[in-house]
Chain A
Amino acid sequence: MKDELFTMVVPEMPGVSSETRARWQEEVNRNFLRMKHFSEMVMNPKEPEIGPTPRQEIYRKNKSRLYRYESRRMHRTPVLFVPNLGISRPYIFDLMPRGSFIEYMTQQGFDMYLLDWGVFGPEDNGLTFEDVVTKILPRMARKALESSGARELSVLGYCMGAPISASYLGSTPEFPLKNFVDMAGPIDFAHAGLFAQWLDARYFDVDKYVDTMGSIPADMVKAGFKLLKPTMDLSTNINLWWNLWNPEYVSGFNALNKWANEYQPFPGEFFRQWVKDFYQQNRLVRGELRMGGRPVSLRNIHAPVLAVGAKEDNIAPPGCVKPLITAVSSTDREYVELPGGHISLIAGRGASVHCWPKVASWLAARS
């Protein structure tokens, strides 16, 4: 059905200027398009196409996968992208054509390696944060190095991927690190916002929680994030209604909405250690963490470091990202605070204007 069938002409009215009439006409047309797209979304929903950038699976370990996104390789050093474990799937970083961080980075000539942690099941409930840092991440980093033939690797940690990477790099000074980028990754949990407050040991008994539940179900993860911003669904739906006339917005919404509603569970022991060592005891920034029998010291990081905070981030507020800069030994270090929230920092139109060019240019000058 063509959009022309939905048009209605606003009649001429006394005392109404032609300009006003034209603008009313535009609003009427938009309303018809809103109705059309709404009925399509309800009656004939289409599965959005996600992950458009070609990739190759390099290695798999249990549920985790290492993917390579090949570029024209204008830079010698490849980038290992370490996202969050649990919570959500990593296809947000390669959401749709012209709306993908990974696509952008490969276009800028970076070979990208994405560590997809996978979806853990009840058989993985014994997996700890330490296992992730000492068993999965080192192997994936080694495979990325072998696959690329490069001698050094830039590590880019997003969200929880940043403290995971920092714990590894801080306990493995011999790792051939070229650059480290922390994108919205909490480091100093004393400033980690509402989650830090809610997970405080005085109020939240993580041992009881894990012992009872075994793993952290996706629905609980969802409830926690929804509670963090209770008005999010309302504003999302109002924005959808407002932009429903625009087919590009609708396709972007469909892809993002699919991702936003696919919450992932946490392995129980991972969650226990994550909450205790990071949120409750803040051991990373205090230098009290040990991984695989080795002390974790952020002072062991000497490579150039870029930390990126998002102004409106309520998951990893800028105050908990910025301390990385003073905690490392690097002489080449920079902190930038960009517009947006935790997700819009890395996905969406704003990200393509602010964050992606910044990260790409910073890495390009050092790769």
Chain B
Amino acid sequence: MADASNQLFDMWKKQVEEGSQAWLRMLGTPQAAPMDPQAFWRPFMDQGIAAWSRAMTQGQAPPDLMAQWKQFLDQWIAAWSKVLEQAMGTEAFAKTLGKQMEGFLNAASPVKKAAEQQVETSLAGLGLASRSQLIAVAQQIVQLEEKIEGVEDKLDAVLRRLDAVGGSR
């Protein structure tokens, strides 16, 4: 069984290496033909499952097979995590992400403005306070709290000075 596990891990390492290369190629050359990311791990998973079912049907499955399978999954996830981290650490990925964000903001901005205006108009029509009015009131409360804190600080300073004067006499 140990040999079988080693074979599985070797196979997995090979797949991960090929997978990472393919990811990096895909990110580095956006004009390339679309690739199927599943293609990298599907054969490996198929073989893993075949090995698993063979062990089960032949009745030779040791009791720690589950632990081995868990270990295998952990390593597989860790490897993919590393591959993805490498791919996401490229300038090409950051550029793509930035472009997507810009696209989202360009699309979201007019929609958000229109929706906010619509809600404001509806609430005004119903004679209710709008969101912006409530925010303005909340901001005033925050400012008021700051002013009170300022007064508290000044009072504290005066009291400390009085204490100091009293103490020196």
Contact = CB atoms under 8 A, between A and B. Distances in A.
The answer to whether A and B belong to the same complex is yes
Contacts of A353: none
B94 A62 contact: no
Interface string A133-161: 00100010000000000000000000000
Contacts of A238: 70, 73-74, 77
Given A123-B141, A197-B94, A212-B112, 6 more contacts: A23-B64, A26-B63, A122-B131, A229-B85, A238-B74, A242-B70
Interface string B123-147: 0000000010001001101100110
Interface of B: 62-64, 66, 70, 73-74, 77, 80-81, 84-85, 88-89, 91, 93-95, 97-99, 101-102, 105, 108-109, 112, 131, 135, 138-139, 141-142, 145-146, 149
A143 to B, nearest CB: 11
Interface stretch (A40-48, A200-208, A325-333): A200-208
Interface residues of A, number: 36
A202 B142 CA distance: 36
Contacts, number: 83
A194 B85 contact: yes
Given A194-B88, A194-B89, A203 B109 contact: no
Contacts of B109: 212
Contacts of B108: 212-213
Interface of A: 20, 23-24, 26-27, 61-62, 121-124, 126, 135, 139, 193-194, 197-198, 200, 202-205, 208-209, 212-213, 227, 229-231, 234-235, 238, 242, 314
A203 B94 contact: yes
Nearest to A139: B149
B89 A123 contact: no
Contacts of B139: 123, 126
B145 A61 contact: yes
B77 A230 contact: no
